[in-house]
Chains A and B, each alone.
Chain A
């Protein structure tokens, strides 16, 4: 009634009068409860006058019987949300609460109500509350003192944070306020299982940290506390202290830190020197960086001593000498501490590297062993990388610039060292030096390029050679002239040279040249020089007659692919590449596919499946990033080439006869294979590029995929069809073409010589539709499920489920703009797994394995978190699958169970008996991979609760003795790991 205005609150109070004044506290309580409930619903409608009276009434009730208090607080909470509360009332309510109520003796919910009242007033009546001065702070301290419930603590911490952040007067109560909050540090709270409130330990830690690190006023109390906890034995306390320290450094200055710097430094140093935990080390270094940054930030008054300087001096004093012992344990911890401090600011960097750089350079010459030199150079590299962070070297007298010559000579000497490890660090250092603008002089730069060429081409170790190529690639955009003028010609010369005596050596040198040419093409101007070299070389090798011909052609394609990936993002470079490479590749392929080629056998290398497969990614990568206009221009050439045999846009287009890949005829077999190149192009186009004569093209592809006898061609045509269908806009046209496809497939699937081709087409079309959630996909999937029961096609269909779920490398993936919904795997799982399970139960014994295999493929590709939640329904089937004799099923089942053992030990514990038995029996499978997987699972079993496992300990240890003597090393390795872990079960010290 009050809500819609038919009653006033006054009338309600009068009506309740009897209750409210009743002498029985229970009745009074009920009366007030009702009133409070009403107020909570309609506090926004109250008049100022009414509020005044209600407030006075409720305040007086605070002295009432304890049974009544909860309802009174509810009422006050309602009133605290009123906008029309007159000035002064907020203060008086709070005063009354502080005075009359002993908050910590109330129940959790009622305490929460008090916090809410305070929060409400703080957000709307800030000025009034500040009028209370420090009394408000003191009142609140009393309210929260002793709070234990995590839900309330979160609110209370928020209030304290606001008190500080909004600048309420703390008066003499700073220490009390600190005490009342810091007593929770470090937070030790484990949420109870099935906690409905979802408060995590991390929430409390973060909100407490926000309070503690919010003011410099706490510093004198907080810093000793942090040091104390840092010195404790508890890992979590150390971590929390370090993170809190780091947070504090954001607002502290010299004044706050001064007194505590020596103890902070000695604690941090001790932790980094001694800890076994990487996490703690990381946090220590972060804290040291924050401290140094904080000190560098502070503005100095003229008379005070520079704390930063003395702080860094003590760091240098404690760490510097360890750098001279590159074999000793403390060398790295010391280097990391120094680098952390140097990473704080430009000032700290200068101060530290001024002292450390000369030392490291000197140590490098003093130590001659490669391993020691490597450690020293790695440390040096750390400092060089910091210089990178601080930007240009030229502007100031940076310590690095002072040592330019020795730094360069140290790095160059590392490149000449026989130790590969040292070379690798040297190459990294070179990359960093190169990225420092203006550091390398032009003569040094030429030396760098020469070194890189030598390492890339002639260093025997592939790691070094690869690193050198990477380095060339990353430096080339900064110095394109040097690389195109010095490196590219050398590579070209080496590529064409015939002088190497042995064939094998020449081959490997050529490989290196091809890789290096690709690696260095990271700048458009360089790429425009390397691409013609690569194409020319391709032209040459494809005509060759060497045995390694195929491999040579593939290598060139791989290099072209790499260049394509490097230049896709750049519009100009990408278009140049596309325009140059795609027609050239097509022309060579068409030439090779001509039936009466002048050269008889050679040239056919280009038509081999592996070679075509290597050309696909080149064309695809050259196409995916084209702008729609340029893509449209290109598509208007390529599609007519395949449909009409229009060769006019190809370079060297005088062919002896016409190109008609879709025409029937024995002699056109070779031409039909080039559909692979069409697929690479047309399936990689952006989705909004219209494909001319698309319907005709689709029909041709469909016909080819169903009728061709060559599996490669048929599969490629099916993939191309699927790739186009996936991007085809929905509508009548799409429905028609799909209907056509279904009509073609069905009879071939049922019987005849081309059942496999029809199945392949079905699989690819299904995949295309499943990815885009097309309604027809479920109908096609059902067909596949039906085929699992087919004795002839069943096994192939089961394998096909892996094709449906996997990422396909050349078509139907995100990279080539396919329509892929992110949750398609989950959706496929939910829609089809129940059917698979039903099918399995209903199937005959000879085809049961097909269902299991299909299922295991689906499960294998499912994200693990989803798998874990879906587990209970499937577990019994998986356990049954362990007994299946098909090793693909065994393997995939084991690989499904492995993560479940680690992530859902509780559920798995229920089946421990079956699991132990099956795993142990699979450890003697004839297939090595199964034995390995079974042993891994046996190992993972140890993450189940120990009490569940102990009854099996003896048996497992005895059974695992046998694989210790397995004939295969890889199996023995797993057996050792698993058995060792089982020995530790239930044993002290685990």
Chain B
């Protein structure tokens, strides 16, 4: 269960701005055609991978908190690169690293290996932007973080399907 009960520390931002979820992508006739290939695009990464990630402290998704937006997801299928920018709800948000880590792990698990990943904070939206970006870009530190079973637990909770 996310969200503190009585006695737990109060939420950093108890009444955040929330945004409407975008609808499901309509399935086109082309997508149903067995023969034609569909390239991996921004919307697909956003829909299937990013938007349903849960926030570590609110019972809301990153999309509803506007931490991630489709326009901040860039994919180049031919060059095999993905870049995701995320925007913490407040500039001092202590969860920023954790959110970034969740996004990174989700991409690692869900994209073909050929892709090169880049996850970072939207420039100018967080106090310790560079430190967080550096941590997220460092493969070894990401791997080490996932060895920590407490961290892994929180990340997995963010990635679990909402019941």
Interface residues, chain A, with chain B CB atoms under 8 Å away: 231-233, 235, 274-276, 322, 325, 327-330, 371, 926-928, 961, 964-965, 967-970, 972-973, 976-977, 979-981, 983-984, 987-990
Q: Is B59 an interface residue (CB 8 A)?
A: yes
CB distance from B160 to the nearest CB of A (A): 6
Can you list 16 pairs linking A and B with CB atoms under 8 Å apart? A232-B5, A233-B5, A274-B59, A327-B19, A328-B18, A330-B15, A964-B111, A965-B114, A967-B37, A977-B48, A977-B161, A979-B109, A980-B109, A983-B109, A988-B153, A989-B157
Q: Is B155 an interface residue (CB 8 A)?
A: yes
Residues of B near A961 (CB, < 8 A) are: 112-113
Residues of B near A988 (CB, < 8 A) are: 149-150, 152-153, 156
Residues of A near B106 (CB, < 8 A) are: 980
Q: Mark B28-62, 1 if CB is under 8 A from A, else 0.
A: 00011010011010001001110000000011100
CB distance from A281 to the nearest CB of B (A): 11
Cα–Cα, bound, A944→B20 (Å) = 35
Closest 10 CB pairs of A and B: A276-B59, A989-B153, A989-B156, A965-B112, A967-B37, A988-B153, A969-B38, A976-B110, A989-B157, A329-B18
| A275→B3 contact, CB < 8 A | yes
Residues of B near A275 (CB, < 8 A) are: 3, 59
Interface residues in B54-86 by Cβ distance below 8 A to A read 58-60
Interface residues in B113-163 by Cβ distance below 8 A to A read 113-114, 149-150, 152-157, 159-161
Cα–Cα, bound, A231→B4 (Å) = 12
Q: Is B93 an interface residue (CB 8 A)?
A: no
Task: Using A233-B1, A980-B159, A990-B160 as known contacts, list a sample of 17 further A-B pairs with CB atoms less than 8 Å apart, ordered by residue number in A.
Answer: A233-B5, A275-B3, A327-B17, A329-B17, A965-B112, A967-B37, A968-B37, A969-B31, A969-B44, A972-B44, A972-B48, A977-B161, A981-B161, A984-B156, A984-B160, A989-B157, A989-B160
Cα–Cα, bound, A394→B60 (Å) = 43
CB distance from B57 to the nearest CB of A (A): 11
Interface residues, chain B, with chain A CB atoms under 8 Å away: 1-3, 5-6, 15-20, 27, 31-32, 34, 37-38, 40, 44, 47-49, 58-60, 106, 109-114, 149-150, 152-157, 159-161
Cα–Cα, bound, A117→B133 (Å) = 75
Cα–Cα, bound, A325→B14 (Å) = 14
CB distance from A268 to the nearest CB of B (A): 14
CB distance from A961 to the nearest CB of B (A): 7
| B110→A964 contact, CB < 8 A | yes
Cα–Cα, bound, A726→B5 (Å) = 63
Cα–Cα, bound, A968→B28 (Å) = 12
CB distance from A416 to the nearest CB of B (A): 21
Residues of B near A969 (CB, < 8 A) are: 31, 38, 40, 44
Q: Give the residue name and chain of the B residue nearest to A983 (CB).
A: B109
Q: Give the residue name and chain of the B residue nearest to A963 (CB).
A: B112
Cα–Cα, bound, A670→B38 (Å) = 46
Q: Give the residue name and chain of the B residue nearest to A929 (CB).
A: B34
- Contact with B27, one of A330, A927, A970, A990 (Cβ below 8 angstroms): A970
- Contact with A276, one of B2, B20, B38 (Cβ below 8 angstroms): B2
- Contact with B38, one of A233, A325, A967 (Cβ below 8 angstroms): A967
Cα–Cα, bound, A990→B157 (Å) = 6
| B16→A328 contact, CB < 8 A | yes
A990 and B156 in contact, given A275-B59, A970-B31, A979-B110 (Cβ under 8 angstroms):
yes
- Contact with A984, one of B20, B44, B60, B159 (Cβ below 8 angstroms): B159
Cα–Cα, bound, A276→B15 (Å) = 14
A927 and B112 in contact, given A970-B27, A984-B159, A984-B160 (Cβ under 8 angstroms):
no
Cα–Cα, bound, A989→B152 (Å) = 7
Residues of B near A928 (CB, < 8 A) are: 32, 34
Residues of A near B16 (CB, < 8 A) are: 328-329
Q: Give the residue name and chain of the B residue nearest to A931 (CB).
A: B34
Residues of A near B40 (CB, < 8 A) are: 969, 972
CB distance from B13 to the nearest CB of A (A): 9
Residues of A near B159 (CB, < 8 A) are: 980, 983-984
Residues of A near B20 (CB, < 8 A) are: 371
Q: Give the residue name and chain of the A residue nearest to B152 (CB).
A: A988
Residues of A near B152 (CB, < 8 A) are: 987-989
| A329→B60 contact, CB < 8 A | yes
CB distance from B12 to the nearest CB of A (A): 13
Cα–Cα, bound, A981→B37 (Å) = 26
- Please indicate which of the listed interface residues A329, A927, A969 has the most CB atoms of chain B within 10 Å of its own CB: A969
| A976→B49 contact, CB < 8 A | yes
Cα–Cα, bound, A928→B111 (Å) = 19
CB distance from B6 to the nearest CB of A (A): 6
CB distance from B105 to the nearest CB of A (A): 9
CB distance from B141 to the nearest CB of A (A): 20
